[in-house]
Amino acid sequence: MTSHSNGNSDSFVKMPTIKFTKLFINGKFVDSISGKTFETIDPRTEEAITRVAEGDEEDIDLAVKAAREAFDNGPWPRLSGFGRGRIMMKFADLIDEHAEELAALDTIDAGKLFGEGKAGIPQSANMLRYYAGAADKIHGEVLKMSREFHAYTLREPIGVVGHIIPWNFPTSMFLGKVSPALAAGCTMVVKPAEQTPLSALYYAHLSKLAGIPDGVLNVVTGFGPTAGAAISSHMDIDAVSFTGSTEVGREVMQAAAKSNLKTLSLELGGKSPLIIFDDADLDKAAELALLGILYNKGEVCVASSRVFVQEGIYDEFVKKLLEKKKSWTVGDPFDPKVRQGPQIDKKQFDKILSYIEHGKREGATLLTGGKPLGHNKGYYIEPTFFTDVKEDMLIAKDEIFGPVMSLMKFKTIDEAIKKANNTTYGLAAGVMTKDLNVANTVSRSIRAGIIWINCYFAFDRDLPFGGYKMSGFGRDFGLDALYKYLQVKSVVTPIFNSPWL
């Protein structure tokens, strides 16, 4: 039976000291122009951690002006790639030195598992190292023209970038967006999610210590409808990278179109299928299905929320899934025995519970879970699995962003592909089979940005990540992410004695 740990967090780890709560603009921590602040809440206790400066349109404008000055007249875009890379390497080293404190901040702010964060933050710092190594390898091409001209291309930084990042992975999203933009020579304004501002402000502090010049990296904490909207519509921001819901992505796209037609990269929602064929290793399939929906409490855009199982193994698979679920402990994320912490906030907590009620009303069978799990405090929800799910049910169509799995059967490979593609989203998919022909057929037939075969959540710095359809466009990670912060410029000169002179 799933258990809930409610011990004193201090018995597991020393609580972090909150050092930075103001906006970071032009290399300094400053109050918001309005003087307003907002509470950031610990989802384990539902209590306020601290108050953070609330930036809005005026503060975004101030940060953009600092970023524009740093881009137009500062050293960062003019440094050699090697020079930028050295500073980024130092930034990464400083993150390693403060990994425990940063992990604790993400635990109290986002409910993330402390042990995973402590191990994972150095891996996220390696994102800086990866792009630092690419910074001095940015180059164009010499072109063979069909006429008597000499031509070549330059890759130049796109300019001032706005990063709007979500709350589910505060560290990896921050470094995943900032790192390639820094390597490209861009300057930027980052708006972390209002639910998780603390680690972003700490990273801003470390960037200053690393030697990143003033104005290059600015962090403005605040809310989406004010600070986020101001980034999307600002006339002096050249590009925006947004990760979040499809609904907000639409608003960002409209604002970009109505303002200065800024370049966009949107990584949006998902409703990812995991397809398990009858030749799959059932133990491994059950483990991956469990991990695919419960990792990070289901607050993952690529969560395997739709699990399709070939009908011949369905009953056996369900037995194994329930057996493995018994060892999945929900509780305080500082506890090293816990595998699932609290949902991010009350709004998300209530949203997940409302979808569970929808599933029951629409006729799906609640196999396990479905209730809050806690002792009057904390946004904890039991791992919840539904069977007898129909494709037109809300729990099978909408992105719930929580620990809720929909189990469905299929007969043939063609039916599996059709069901997997029956969604407005196209972010990720998983395939479990020992048959290489089946794996190849399905991976080429599903319209999604990443397909995992006999694995799940297999990300890497080298691996481009993004979506099809309403899951957005543009790619994070890999060299694709670097190139989206670079403009291509063509330069043409006539060859001596050319008749075109």
Query: What positions carry a catalytic annotation?
Result: 267
Inter-CA distances, 398 with 129, 355, 395, Å: 37, 9, 6
First vs last C-alpha separation in the chain = 82
Listed residue (211, 204, 157, 163) closest to 185, CA to CA: 157
Are 182 and 216 within 8 A, CB to CB? yes
Q: What is the DSSP letter of 93?
A: H
Phi, psi of 283 (to 5 degrees): -65, -45
In whole angstroms, give the CA distance from residue 309 to residue 75.
56
Token couple for 440: 């190849």
Nearest to 94 by CA among 204, 217, 221, 214: 204
Choose among 400, 378, 457: nearest CA to 107: 378
Which has the closest alpha carbon to 156: 220, 238, 100? Answer: 238
What radius of gyration do the chain's Cα atoms show? Answer: 24
Classify the C-alpha dihedral 325-331-333-338 as positive or negative: negative
DSSP bridge partners of 53 = 37
389's CB contacts (< 8 A; 6+ apart) are 359, 364, 395, 396, 406, 407, 408
Give the Cα separation of 87 and 77 in Å (integer): 13
Tally of residues, the chain: 501
Q: Write out 138-177 in H/E/C secondary structure.
A: CCCCEEECCCCEEEEEEEEECCEEEEECCCCCHHHHHHHH
The answer to whether the CB of 329 falls within 8 A of the CB of 316 is: no
Q: Which of 142, 406, 451 is nearest to 289 (CA)?
A: 406
Residue reference for tokens 């799910």:
389
3-class state of residue 184 by DSSP: helix
Q: Smallest Cα–Cα separation from 293: which of 171, 165, 411, 399?
A: 399
51: enclosing H helix or E strand: strand 47-53
User: Residue 41, SS3?
Assistant: strand
